Amino acid sequence: MPGVTESNEEGERVKNNHNRIIMVDDNITNLTTAKNLLSNTYDVFTAPSATKLFLLLEKLTPDLILLDIEMPEMNGYEVIEKLKSNESTADIPVIFLTANIDPESEVKGLELGAIDYITKPFSRELLLKRIEVHLLIVAQRKTLEDYSQNLEQKVRDKTKEVVGLKNAILRTIAELVESRDNITGGHIERTQVYLNMLVGFLRSSNVYADEISMLDNNFFIMSSQLHDVGKIAIDDNILKKPGKLTPEEFEVMKKHTIKGMEIIQKIEATTPESVFLKYAKILAGTHHEKWDGSGYPFGLKGENIPLQGRLMAIIDVYDALTNDRPYKKAFSHEESMEVIRSGRGAHFDPLLCDIFLQYEKEFNAAKANSHINTHDGVEWELPPQTVATIMEAVEVIKNYSGDILQS
């Protein structure tokens, strides 16, 4: 820091606006000469042996080391090997200063990691220029590394921002759908929690291991927010009817699966290919299919139903059973589990049903301990601060749904 000084064992003071250089040589005359040559430009520290060098390195980190080769106890080659093997000193640039002029010595020094090789005796101008050039290279490299790290951080921040915006759009669209069916408030949050739990239990139980391994779990769970997006196209008189639907009304309600797929296709047409939209379309279109083929909209049977749809079928029914709906009061957990148990092999995939039943206590605990907010019959209003971020996505739905969704 500016104004702070340090001293080495010889009482040399550090001027922090200068680069630090350590000169290592067993010849005191060479040390004195180098210090006199460099001290006007750099903070120079001297060490008469390798032992003194490593003691000095415990106190400070220099910008450059000038290292003699021929020294007692430990020669320059041994010193640089030790420097490069230590993480804290490996990046300190080293220039060899030596009277050896044979090419083999020079090559050996460079192979061990030295950045330059200067023969003695040396001129003041040559030494200063070589040091200047190498310190400039080091500084430029550091600048590039800092720039690269800053750029990587900016990319991470921007990616996080884009992902956050995407999640906000998805969440708001999902809430827009849910707000039209406000008695089921919290359904989206709860089903995400349960779905994530069920996928985790499948992984640990090694059930459908190949298919599960191919799922991008983050995108899959995130996409489940749109499984009921087709309800945006269902008339309120049917969607909120406080009683059993007529056969004709039920046929209309069933169309929310197809409508959901078509809405997501419309969104896909305005955005680059996306894994989470692919998952969302599968969930929207298949979460009401049944194992025995009696579900809708396609009447798919068994493993012809995508695994995503089979997973969502159990989760969706469990949450519907354990919460109030316009046409019924909430069932207890025990009553709900009996319904699911009776649907094994008919409504639900037997293997998935077995896993769900095996971990029923965990699902019950998640339901009991969740702090998911519900709408409690209060009309939901779009927060003003999110309007700008969702307008494009909502316009896609509005343009698709026509007169059914009013602005």
Least Cα distance to 357 among 207, 190, 185, 184 occurs for 207
Q: Quick check: 367 and 333 in contact, CB under 8 A?
A: yes
Regions in the chain scoring below 70 on pLDDT: 1-17, 159, 162-172, 175, 178-185, 272-273, 370-407
- Predicted local confidence at residue 152, as pLDDT: 80
Write out pLDDT tens, residues 178-228: 666 654 457 888 899 999 999 999 999 999 999 999 998 888 998 898 898
pLDDT single digits (tens) 9-33: 433 444 445 889 999 999 898 888 8
Measured distance CA(62)–CA(19) in Å, rounded:
8
User: What's CA 235's distance to the chain center, in Å?
Assistant: 40
Report whether 56 contacts 45 (CB < 8 A): yes
> 70-97 pLDDT, tens per residue?
888 899 999 999 999 999 999 899 999 8
- Give the residue carrying structure tokens 């999640």: 167
Question: pTM of the full predicted structure?
Answer: 0.56
C-alpha 44/C-alpha 24 separation (Å) is: 11
Other beta carbons within 10 Å of 283: 30
**pLDDT of 221-245, one tens digit each?**
988 988 988 888 888 888 888 888 8
What is the pLDDT, as a whole number, of residue 163? Answer: 64
